Structure 1
């Protein structure tokens, strides 16, 4: 039996229903519905099917000549008609996910104040915290919320602090939940926690629509975030609270603080870690090896890098039965200050979560260092012959030809994962890594790229 279309009792009529993206059907309203909702004179007479609407909308989309124009068109469509928006993207998922999410959404967020047309979520500003509960209740009145995606926009998609533009990443991720996970969009809430910005370009921009103030830190920041989290716990205790693109000083800390009191998920830590683990497990299926026998170099030890390290380490422990202290020894973490070693930990303010992965200084006696005395990526690759090289640094081109060839020289099937996004910040173009290793590399990226040619002539997709 085909699944029946759910029926709703809707009190809206006329323009009110046509301007409600949840209930608007555009020219798909039937004759009976047009009479019932007072739409007969408000719509052209032809009744279109959803297929016909999708065909028209896709043709309109193709008239936009750049990804950012396509992003803007789809945002406008979403503001008008949810069913058409999600159906259109669902039918062209591979083509349009890069338009509504990475890499195009990063550009849209960076231009948020100049592209702004209408509200698209909940804006909770530090300056208005005294009315936060009233504002929260006003916007969620009568709703049954299952998902709340929030960001403070300090570390957006590889482009850094974007202030109030962070609402764009929250709404984009909520859309992904609907498209991939089947989440009812009426049961999700997108939030930006506007605690200011340290992006001077935004502060100097007279069109910036956020709170024009330096980013709040410390106890004031914690109290503001906690006030929001407690509202979520109080009014939607069964919801999932999704943290997105928080800065490295807050991401892990907030996850640890709230994970035992509410269902919380940090995509940059847990999501990135889970996806990377899945990629590597697929790769070692090809190499017929084990997680515990890999030598992992993680280039970029921020929230994503540490999420990956913890996820892989825990998998080594649970799958291969290796003690945690031994599993830690399979990792070589490189941050902006170079390889994480005992001496680096003792002389700089390296975050505590990196300490279990530090390398003994005795391993690196005689190692080539830079002018600051730091052990850098190429030297690490040459000395340890890693089997897995993971990039989450947003340092474009960091996996140079020399680095990739050095890795391939010491490993039959190098596993190379340049994960930084957007695509212009990736550590290596997969086409180049494929060429430099003679097609031996097993590759996965964090942003979409065109297929690369294997030596056999087949596409590496």
Structure 2
């Protein structure tokens, strides 16, 4: 391309439209980082300055009286299978952006998951912003007010969700980039009454679960045997912990309480433990069961505020798995990684923060500090790390796009009224079973991104099969029929064939 920066390539691709899907599908590995992570964060941060035309359904808080009419105008004459909505409070790496655009997310559902783009509806839920820089920007296209919270916020979101349920009861409702105070709460509020999915919680959790299942396969152990440190207890970190715990319960038969004791979460106050108190522990963390009892940390080294840091946690816990989703660049220091390497033979390190400049550890360094023993994955693409034996270790890209499009396709395919935990685990297990590392322990923990469409097709089939087995599906198929039904439903960016008929022209 003649465009010399990622953001200029992003805007160029967005302008193509007709050729967009066909071009990107032929160059997935090269172009997905341009239209999605990590470039999309820059595109959203500069949205008001790059704005050309509205590309989604835009619903503003102070115009909610016309919400139903606006929704119907946007969806008239369309079958809607997928709705991706965002209030843009917590866009990974850049935070509150006021107006979130979900076109990239829904495009990935089409490119990789095979969902017809005409049946996808991106929705911007504008409830204001607390980003003062945006409020001071005279070009800002969003509602220039402080972010609405509390009961009024809940009423606005509920009005939107009930409209979706009224007109498209079989659709998948995807929550994207909601803040930590709302993400878990909204998912739990609505998931029992509609097929809801939060990629920051469940997508990140599912792909991380797949990655860890593959790594556990390499070490020939069980998921319930692991000791897990999660550095960054926001929506993503808590979502990963929940997903791993649920999988331990479902696959290894341990109790939720015993599974919770395998986890040690850290946030800006250090280890999440009882003595931090309600002022420093969010309700969602108390409800999760991941708060460490103080009795286990007597004699631990703390700072002046009584907080236990990462190095001390690693020293005492001897984790087999360390997961970073903190956006704290370099947080997994040499001391931390070497200490972890002393406690287990094959340390499993997932440094998942995006973009790559915010990663907790460069995988090349983690490889060096563990003498090539680490099993690794990152949230953004990284080059291979050289092993002591001279081989290149290919770093798995723990990218949500390796799983969430398939999860969505499976739910849409079988018309499920719910996205259950067991459906997600079934999809994660199918992805883990495709890991190259299961054939060669020094290979990548996850499939290459070029194979994402084929991988997500398999995930979608697994999800639909599980829904049928557990009675969550809205179709009356046999499990043996699912793969054929999925192949028939799959959308691909292929132009129709047009035949020139000179006689017809003369007529």
Tell me the TM-score normalized by structure 2: 0.76
CA-atom RMSD in angstroms: 1.2
SS at match of 2:367: helix
Per the TM alignment, residue 457 of structure 1 is displaced from its structure 2 partner at its CA by: 2.3
Question: Taking structure 1 as reference, are residues 178 and 282 closer, same or farther at Cα in structure 2, changes over 3 Å only?
Answer: same
Q: Does 1:105 align with 2:40?
A: yes
Which of these residues, 274, 280, 300, is aligned with residue 367 of structure 1?
300
Residue in structure 2 matched with residue 431 of structure 1 by the alignment: 364
Tell me which residue corresponds to 1:300. 232
Select the residue among 336, 341, 344 that pairs with 1:403.
336
Contact 1:345 1:358 (8 Å CA) reproduced = no
Alignment correspondent of 1:134: 69
Does the 8 Å contact 2:7/2:39 carry over to 1?
Answer: yes
Tell me the residue number matched to 2:87.
152
Distance 1:75 1:348 in 2: 42
Confirm whether residue 388 of structure 1 aligns to residue 321 of structure 2: yes
Report the alpha carbon displacement of residue 373 of structure 1 after superposing the two structures with TM.
1.4
- The Cα offsets for residues 5-40 of structure 1, whole Å up to 9 and x where unpaired, read as xxxxxxxxxxxxxxxxxxxxxxxxxxxxxxxxxxxx
Which whole-Å CA distance do the structure 2 matches of 1:213 and 1:296 have between them?
A: 41
- Deviation, 1:143, is 1.1
Counterpart of 2:427 in structure 1 is none
Paired with 2:201 and 2:286, the residues of 1 have a C-alpha distance of 14
SS at match of 2:261: helix
> Is the 2:272–2:281 contact (alpha carbons within 8 Å) kept by the matching residues of 1?
no
The answer on whether the counterparts of 1:334 and 1:340 sit within 8 Å (CA) in structure 2 is yes
CA contact (8 A) 2:285 2:291 kept: no
Matched, 1:63 2:26: no
1:217 aligns with 2:146: no
Tell me the SS of whatever aligns to 1:181.
coil
Shift of 1:349: 4.1
Partner of residue 208 from structure 1, selected from 140, 146, 159: 140
Report the CA distance shift for 1:335/1:185 in structure 2 as closer, same or farther (over 3 A): same
Q: 1:160 to 1:457 in 2, by over 3 A?
A: same
1:243 is paired with a residue whose SS is strand
Write the deviation string for residues 391-427 of structure 1: whole angstroms up to 9, x where unpaired.
1111111111111111111111100001111212211
CA contact (8 A) 1:295 1:331 kept: yes
Inter-partner Cα distance in structure 2 for 1:460 and 1:88: 30
Cross-structure match for 1:24: none
- Asked if the contact 2:84/2:106 (under 8 Å) is kept, the reply is yes
Question: Separation in 2 of the partners of 1:361 and 1:75?
Answer: 52
Partner of 2:375: 442
CA contact (8 A) 1:306 1:354 kept: no
Q: What is the deviation of 1:347? A: 5.7
The Cα of 1:299 is off from its aligned counterpart by 0.6
Cα 1:221/1:435, change in 2 over 3 Å: same
Instruction: Structure 1 unaligned segments of length 5 or more: list them.
Output: 1-61
Deviation (angstroms), 1:181: 0.8
Q: Offset of 1:241 from its aligned partner?
A: 0.5
Corresponding residue of 1:76: 15
Question: What SS is found at the alignment partner of 1:357?
Answer: coil
> Which 10-residue stretch deviates more, 171-180 or 432-441?
432-441
Distance in 1 between the 2:325 and 2:269 partners?
Answer: 15
CA distance in 1: counterparts of 2:280 and 2:2, whole angstroms: 53
Q: 1:413-444 CA deviation, whole Å, 9 max, x = no partner?
A: 10000111121221111122112211111001
- What residue number does 1:20 align with? none
Deviating more after overlay: 130-139 vs 385-394: 130-139
Q: Distance in 1 between matches of 2:392 and 2:272?
A: 37
Q: Which residue of structure 2 lines up, in the alignment, with residue 378 of structure 1? A: 311
> Which residues of 2 match residues 26-425 of structure 1 at below 5 A?
62-78=1-17, 81=18, 84-164=19-99, 166-167=100-101, 170-345=102-277, 348-355=280-287, 356-425=289-358
Change (3 A) 1:370 1:95: same
* Deviation of the 1:260 alpha carbon: 1.2
Which residue of the partner structure matches residue 39 of structure 1? none
Q: Counterpart in 2 of 1:25?
A: none
Moved over 4 A (4+): none
Count the aligned residue pairs.
Answer: 393
Contact 1:121 1:189 in 2 (8 A): yes
Look up the SS of the partner of 2:201 in the other structure: helix
SS at match of 1:406: helix
Residue 392 of structure 2: aligned partner: 459
What is the alpha-carbon distance in structure 1 between the residues aligned to residue 34 and residue 140 of structure 2? 23
8 A Cα contact 1:102 1:157, kept in partner? no
Q: Given that residues 344 and 350 in structure 1 are in contact (C-alpha distance below 8 angstroms), is that contact kept between their aligned partners in structure 2?
A: no
Whole-angstrom CA distance in 2 between matches of 1:105 and 1:243: 17
Residue by residue, what CA displacement relative to the aligned partner does 1:257-307 show, whole Å, maximum 9, x if unpaired?
111111111111111111111000100111111111110000111111111
| Contact 1:296/1:330, CA 8 A, preserved across alignment | yes
